[in-house]
């Protein structure tokens, strides 16, 4: 007997973008459990036209950016967002959405969807590896239905630790920013219209991560 898909997620086509820098199989399994119709691909048209695009990422910022551009992922993300079509980044897939990354003193350009720099975490123990709580805003959609003590799985040594986003249009809704702390506060997630992202790995975060992915798929 096949279990029913979560309400609001059935039939939603999600592409996990395979540009060589992400745990695409774990993401595929987690999205499928959340009810999505999932495909792993780097095909331009398929990724462009899916209901949702998930961009994973592991490794170094500069290498991920290089791989993304070689797969034309930067074009796909830009064109999807221009049309209001949902994109979600995970881990380094979130970091590359910011203006730049600084690793070992070397600066690399990001996609510049949001201002800010990805820099080394200021903590006694690095990498930040394991479970941690987060502090979402009250009007969050991404964390809807989750308890305040819900924990998510992080594996990273770099993060964005300052948020300086200017809303240039009075009719524009400012992004919703979620914070976590490891040594010092850092950005754990952002909800910005069609563009959502998490520093942690929802696909490795058990029931809490499953609920979060269900929330995202439900908006597609």
Looking at the annotation, which residues are catalytic?
A: 91, 201, 203
First CA to last CA distance, the chain: 27
3-state secondary structure of 23: coil
Q: What is the DSSP string of 120-160?
A: E--SSS-SEEEEEE-B--TT-STTTT--TT-EEEEEESEEE
154's CB contacts (< 8 A; 6+ apart) are: 128, 129, 130, 131, 132, 180, 182, 188, 199, 200, 201
Residue 186 and residue 132: Cα distance in Å, rounded?
A: 12
How many residues in the chain? 220
Cβ partners under 8 Å of residue 202, min gap 6: 30, 90, 152, 208, 209, 210, 212, 213
- The distance of Cα 7 from the centroid of its chain, to the nearest Å, equals 22
Nearest to 64 by CA among 26, 98, 14: 98
Cross-strand bridge partners of residue 176: 191
């Amino acid at each position: 007997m096949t279990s029913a898909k979560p309400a609001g997620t059935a039939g939603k086509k999600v592409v996990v973008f395979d540009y060589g820098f992400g745990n695409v199989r774990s993401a595929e399994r987690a999205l499928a459990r959340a009810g999505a119709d999932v495909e792993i691909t780097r095909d331009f048209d398929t990724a462009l036209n899916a209901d949702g695009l998930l961009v994973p990422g592991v490794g170094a910022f500069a290498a991920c950016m290089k791989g993304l551009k070689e797969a034309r992922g930067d074009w796909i993300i830009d064109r999807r967002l221009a049309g209001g079509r949902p994109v979600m980044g995970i881990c380094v897939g979130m970091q590359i959405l910011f203006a730049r990354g600084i690793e070992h003193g070397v600066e690399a350009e990001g996609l510049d969807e949001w201002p800010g720099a990805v820099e080394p975490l200021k903590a006694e123990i690095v990498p930040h590896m394991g479970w941690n709580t987060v502090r979402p805003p009250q009007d969050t959609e991404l964390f809807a239905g989750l308890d305040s003590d819900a924990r998510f799985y992080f594996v990273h040594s770099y993060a964005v630790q300052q948020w300086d986003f200017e809303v240039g249009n009075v009719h524009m809704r400012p992004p919703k920013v979620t914070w976590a702390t490891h040594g010092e506060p850092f950005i754990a997630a952002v909800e910005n219209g069609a563009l959502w992202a998490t520093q942690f790995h929802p696909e490795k975060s058990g029931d809490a991560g499953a609920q979060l992915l269900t929330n995202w798929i439900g908006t597609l």
